[in-house]
Structure 1
Amino acid sequence: MIRKHSATLHGHRTSFTVEDVFWEELKAIADRRAMSLAALIAEIDDHRSEDANLSSSLRVYVLEWYRSGGEPPAAQ
């Protein structure tokens, strides 16, 4: 199921939509990296290209995380 989520990034509220499986994996990745989910989302947001939306960037991050064997992906 796809759901809308909200986060505060650098003092501003934003929302994004991701499927439950991506949301669960983002939480697991944040846990493995010993960081908060909000910090992980902010990091992904900081490194995404200007033409990429946050929802897509979150999905791509999860994919790249597993492709890289559990290492943070390079900036997108």
Structure 2
Amino acid sequence: MTRHLAKRSLVLSGHGTSVALEAEFWDVLDGMAAVRGESVAQLVESIDVTRDPGRPLASALRIAALLHVRSSGV
């Protein structure tokens, strides 16, 4: 099964960037942001500032989504 990436443009710390993730990961991140009462850009920025500098942002977002799903018992 081939998964297509969905690209979103975001402003992080005043700089525009694009992130490409599978739609399923965006769905989880959308839900995480809604639960926190913040925008997806705010959520992504909070993940961005805490990630290991050697880890790509897309990878950090996938891991955050996975950890969220695991912690919610799904």
TM-score, normalised to structure 1, is 0.84
Query: 1:40 — aligned with what?
Result: 43
Structure 2 unpaired stretches of 5+: none
| RMSD of aligned residue pairs (Cα, Å) | 1.3
Q: Give the number of equivalent residue pairs.
A: 70
Runs of 4+ in 1 over 6 A off after TM superposition: none
Separation (CA, whole Å) in 2 of partners of 1:51 and 1:66: 24
Max Rg structure: 2
In structure 1, what is the Cα distance between the partners aligned to 2:29 and 2:19? 13
* Gaps in structure 1 of 5+ consecutive residues: 71-76
- Please report how far the alpha carbon of residue 9 of structure 1 lies from its aligned counterpart in structure 2 after TM superposition: 0.4
User: If each structure's helix is expressed as a fraction of its own residues, which one has the higher value?
Assistant: 2
Partner of 1:54: 57
Normalising by structure 2, we get a TM-score of 0.86
**1:11 — aligned with what?**
14
